[in-house]
């Protein structure tokens, strides 16, 4: 049994991960810590477990095997490093950290202390992504030229009595979040496109503060990949009814995914639009992969390269927007960075 401590209810997905932990037969939630004691005590009462006010006592507790980190993103580095040094396995919400350098320091510490780290990048486990990857790997699209991926919602559209919409107000705190729509919701288009297109060469981005928040609520990033493909990544908190869209264009075909609707046209098949009769079986969720890695030392399908690549695009996008220029990824990377 993996005895888990929940570290903060700050993130909107914290309850989801608590539910996954509760439902997994290999996991037992033992206690809660939160940087906001009042919020943490309420959560602990709901879950029927103790609340601890001192993080160090949680991480030093020999009965705690692992932690689920849903703290403000600006606290990820210090907390995850400390957890790893105390020999705790770590599951955390994306992004891992604000810079590639900080991510590399975290992974070095994780490896040095022989613990399992998983960052939640759930769409890499979904059947539509696996289908898209199969299509690309089989060469059915020919040379991949463009990927467009859009994920947006209306979380920042003002509601009566709440100017920030249905998202929690702290999601607009630049210090805690490190950004807005791109670093949060835009993470999914980033890591999906990175996986499909390969290593990024340069980034140009615009991060708009349409509603006057301290962080972006509408953003677009244009990625140039070493493969020659372009990635057009769109996200935002101001789009009502916007579907998830993943579009792949190549010299021999096109693949269009809109929510659950999938169709493809390839000159290597019959040249007509086709709808797949079946999709690959989805992989285990990031959480379940983390548990299986701890229990059985099973390999995970979400890699260090995926996590570093996500932070790389965010870091380069921030520089691009602030300085109004195209940013080459080599400005950020060093020779040992583990991005494929």
Q: Which pLDDT tens digit goes with each residue over 148-197?
A: 999 999 999 998 878 779 999 999 999 999 999 999 999 999 999 999 99
Q: Supply the pLDDT for residue 336.
A: 59
Q: What is the pLDDT of residue 163?
A: 78
- What is the average pLDDT across 197-217? 96
Indicate whether 340 pLDDT > 80: no
d(CA 273, CA 301): 31
- Choose among 104, 123, 98, 256: nearest CA to 179: 98
Is the pLDDT confidence value at 253 over 80?
Answer: yes
Grade residue 208 by pLDDT with cuts at 50, 70 and 90.
Answer: very high
Please report the pLDDT score of residue 269 as a whole number: 93
Share of the chain above pLDDT 70, in %: 99
Q: Give the whole-angstrom CA distance, residue 22 versus residue 33.
A: 17
What pLDDT is recorded for position 334? 75
Q: Where are the alpha helices (DSSP H) in 48-141?
A: 55-59, 76-85, 100-112, 127-137
- Quote the strand ranges of the chain, DSSP E: 2-7, 27-33, 51-52, 66-69, 89-93, 117-120, 144-152, 200-208, 218-225, 230-236, 245-250, 253-258, 261-266, 327-328
Reply yes or no on whether the pLDDT at 2 is more than 90. Answer: yes
Average pLDDT over residues 125-151: 98
3-state secondary structure labels for all residues of 26-40: CEEEEEEECCCHHHH
| Cα pseudo-dihedral 198, 199, 204, 205, rounded to 10 | 70
- Report CA torsion sign: 28, 33, 37, 39: negative
Q: What is the pLDDT of residue 164?
A: 79
CB 117 within 8 A of CB 107: yes
**Burial class, 281, CB count within 10 angstroms (exposed 0-12 / middle 13-18 / buried 19+):** exposed
Average pLDDT score over residue span 299-310: 97
Given a contact cutoff of 8 angstroms between Cβ atoms, the answer to whether 266 and 140 are in contact is yes
Residue 126's alpha-carbon distances to 34, 133, 228, 229, in angstroms, are 31, 11, 26, 23
* Other CB atoms within 10 Å distance of the CB of residue 283: 18
What span, in angstroms and rounded, lies between the C-alpha atoms of 159 and 97?
31
Q: What is the pLDDT of residues 59-107, one digit of tens each?
A: 999 999 999 999 999 999 999 999 999 999 999 999 999 999 999 999 9
**pLDDT at residue number 50:** 98
**pLDDT on residue 161:** 78
Pick left, alpha or beta for residue 270 (phi over 0 → left; psi -120 to 50 → alpha; otherwise beta).
alpha
Domains and CATH numbers, the chain: 2-120 (3.40.50.720), 124-331 (3.30.360.10)
Asked if 86 and 59 touch (Cβ cutoff 8 Å), the reply is yes
| pLDDT of 268 strictly over 90 | yes
Question: Mean pLDDT score of the chain, rounded to an integer?
Answer: 96
pLDDT at position 338 over 80: no
Q: Which residue has the higher pLDDT, 161 or 224?
A: 224
Angle at 222 between CA 234 and CA 313, to 5 degrees: 85
**Contact in structure between 327 and 203 (CB atoms under 8 Å):** yes
**72-24-283-85 Cα dihedral, nearest 10 degrees:** 50
CB of 268 within 8 A of CB of 252? yes
pLDDT at 5 over 80: yes
Which of 40, 36, 78 lies closest to 59 in space, CA to CA?
Answer: 78
């Amino acid at each position: 049994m993996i005895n888990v401590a929940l570290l903060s209810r700050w993130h909107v997905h914290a309850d989801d991960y608590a539910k996954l932990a509760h439902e997994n037969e290999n996991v037992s939630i033992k206690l809660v810590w939160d940087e906001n004691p009042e919020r943490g005590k309420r959560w602990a009462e709901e879950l029927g477990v103790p609340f601890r006010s001192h993080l160090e006592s949680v991480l030093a507790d020999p009965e705690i095997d692992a932690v689920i980190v849903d703290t403000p993103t600006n606290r990820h580095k210090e907390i995850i490093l400390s957890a790893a040094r105390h020999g705790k396995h770590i599951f955390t919400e994306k992004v891992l950290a604000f810079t590639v350098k900080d991510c590399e320091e975290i992974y070095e510490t994780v490896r040095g202390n022989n613990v399992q780290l998983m960052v939640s990048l759930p769409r890499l486990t979904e059947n539509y992504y696996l289908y898209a990857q199969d299509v690309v790997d089989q060469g059915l699209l020919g040379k991949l030229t463009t990927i467009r991926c859009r994920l947006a919602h209306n979380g920042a559209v003002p509601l009566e009595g709440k100017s920030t919409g249905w998202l929690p107000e702290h999601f607009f705190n630049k210090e805690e979040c490190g950004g807005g729509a791109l670093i949060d919701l835009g993470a999914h288009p980033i890591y999906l496109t990175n996986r499909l297109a390969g290593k990024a060469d340069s980034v140009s981005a615009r991060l708009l503060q349409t509603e006057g928040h301290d962080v972006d609520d509408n953003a677009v990033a244009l990625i140039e990949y070493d493969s020659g493909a372009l990635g057009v990544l769109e996200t935002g908190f101001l789009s009502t009814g916007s579907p998830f869209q993943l579009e792949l264009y190549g010299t021999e075909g096109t693949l269009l995914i809109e929510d659950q609707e999938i169709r493809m046209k390839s000159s290597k098949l019959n040249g007509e639009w086709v709808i797949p009769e079946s999709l690959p079986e989805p992989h285990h969720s990031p959480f379940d992969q983390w548990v299986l890695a701890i229990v059985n030392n099973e390999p995970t399908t979400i890699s260090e390269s995926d996590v570093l690549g996500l932070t790389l695009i965010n870091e380069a996008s921030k520089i691009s927007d602030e300085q109004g220029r195209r940013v080459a990824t080599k400005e950020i990377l060093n020779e040992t960075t583990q991005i494929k």
